[in-house]
Structure 1
Amino acid sequence: MLGRERDRGQTAIEFLGVTPLIILLMIALWQCALIGYTFSLAGNSADEAAHKGAIAQGLRGQECRDAAEKHLPKAWRDALKKTTCRSKSGMYTAEVKLQVPVLVPGILNWKYPVTGYAAAPLEG
């Protein structure tokens, strides 16, 4: 028998052996993307909340909390842990805590939140 005929089907067997590793790598990369996206959302949400709270004329706290939730996707808005808004020494600060979804947003969340901080100078 020639060497080529003896190895027939070897590539298929090797591919089947490596497939679970490829799938695990793809899942890990997807989870890393969700974590990064949650960090981005938390930072942006805190930035918008601090800005709205700093320029609000009436209820600064309510304006701040509303702005923090305004542009969040539904899955992250539903899992919003806490929004803290404060006025301190001429600055208005906002802290937003979001839950990181596990693989599918809106189904299951990690217990460790991601926190975004922002500050804006008080106006008016």
Structure 2
Amino acid sequence: MKTEKIITIVADSHLMADNIARAIGATPAGEYHYAKEGYAVTWTNGSIVEASYNPKQPFILSDNMTPQQVYAHNFDFAVRDYDKVVGYDKKAEDLARLDAIKALFKNSSLVINATMPTP
């Protein structure tokens, strides 16, 4: 049986994810996300989602685009897991959140960045 891919929206905070979920009619679907048919809304509680430039994507920039639109269009998003490099020991909750976000990303046809870009 083929599983349908979802659209995942990633917010910075639980409060922002809650507002987005209410706006699209999504309801709690676990400890770390909201869901509505075809959609999931989650939050990072910090900068655990990173963007890397996608060289296969044509760089699009126009004068009517906001910084968030430029940022979102030209980058691929992935879960940052840099703690091993800097020696930070994750808490069990951090690991569970990472696992939940990675699972949502894996099942997504599209990830929408609703986080504030960092300089």
- TM-score class, shorter-chain normalisation, is under 0.3
Q: Which has the larger radius of gyration?
A: 1
Whose helix fraction is larger, Structure 1's or Structure 2's? 1
Question: Please, what TM-score do these two structures have when normalized by structure 2?
Answer: 0.26
